[in-house]
């Protein structure tokens, strides 16, 4: 790595060095650098996932990352982000994706969290309820009455966002 770096100690005790430019993208790291007198920042993030976080920001050269347009209108993530971003997220297992979302939230990496969320939304975009249930092995414990009540109370979740209508804030 070129330039000054910050030593991040992962959950397993491994040291991952990230560019000092990371303080512009992680409020957690920024606060720790400002608050700690030591040169190492302990993280509650696995080494494997911290390497993914580092890779994402290195690829984007620690520059401002364009926010994702919302609502997500397509299941084709490459229309939302770059081919590299699409491949980056597609190579993650569901467990890794969950850990990456948690790490982005923990590290307060807004751009990464935005991209993770957009990728997940694009994966759900064209799936029906039954397809989602099968994909995530969700058993249908709801009676038709309860499901209908949920649709009435939380209709904004069930609405088709493929139209140009914006969902009103709740």
Span 68-124, pLDDT tens digits: 888 888 888 888 888 999 999 999 999 999 999 999 999 999 999 999 999 998 888
- Burial of 15: CB neighbours in 10 Å, binned 0-12, 13-18, 19+: exposed
pTM for this predicted structure? 0.77
Task: Domain ranges for the chain, please list them.
Answer: 5-124, 129-158
Dihedral sign of CA atoms 55, 61, 67, 71 in order: negative
Q: Which residues have CB under 8 Å from 170's CB, separation 6+?
A: 156
pLDDT at residue 159 tops 70: no
CATH 3.30.710.10 given to domain 5-124: yes
């Amino acid at each position: 790595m070129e330039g000054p770096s910050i030593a991040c100690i992962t959950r397993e005790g491994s040291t991952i060095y990230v560019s000092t430019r990371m303080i512009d993208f992680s409020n957690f790291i920024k606060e720790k650098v400002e608050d700690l007198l030591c040169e190492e920042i302990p993280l509650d993030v696995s080494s494997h996932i911290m390497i993914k976080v580092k890779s994402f920001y290195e690829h984007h050269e620690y520059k401002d990352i364009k926010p994702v347009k919302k609502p997500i209108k397509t299941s084709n993530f490459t229309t939302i982000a770059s081919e590299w971003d699409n491949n980056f997220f597609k190579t993650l297992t569901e467990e890794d994706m969950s850990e990456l979302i948690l790490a982005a939230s923990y590290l307060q990496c807004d751009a990464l969290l935005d991209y993770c969320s957009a990728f997940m939304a694009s994966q759900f975009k064209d799936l029906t309820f039954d397809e989602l249930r099968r994909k995530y092995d969700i058993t249908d414990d709801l009676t038709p009455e309860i499901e209908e009540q949920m649709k009435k109370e939380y209709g904004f979740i069930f609405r088709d966002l493929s139209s140009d209508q914006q969902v009103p804030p709740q």
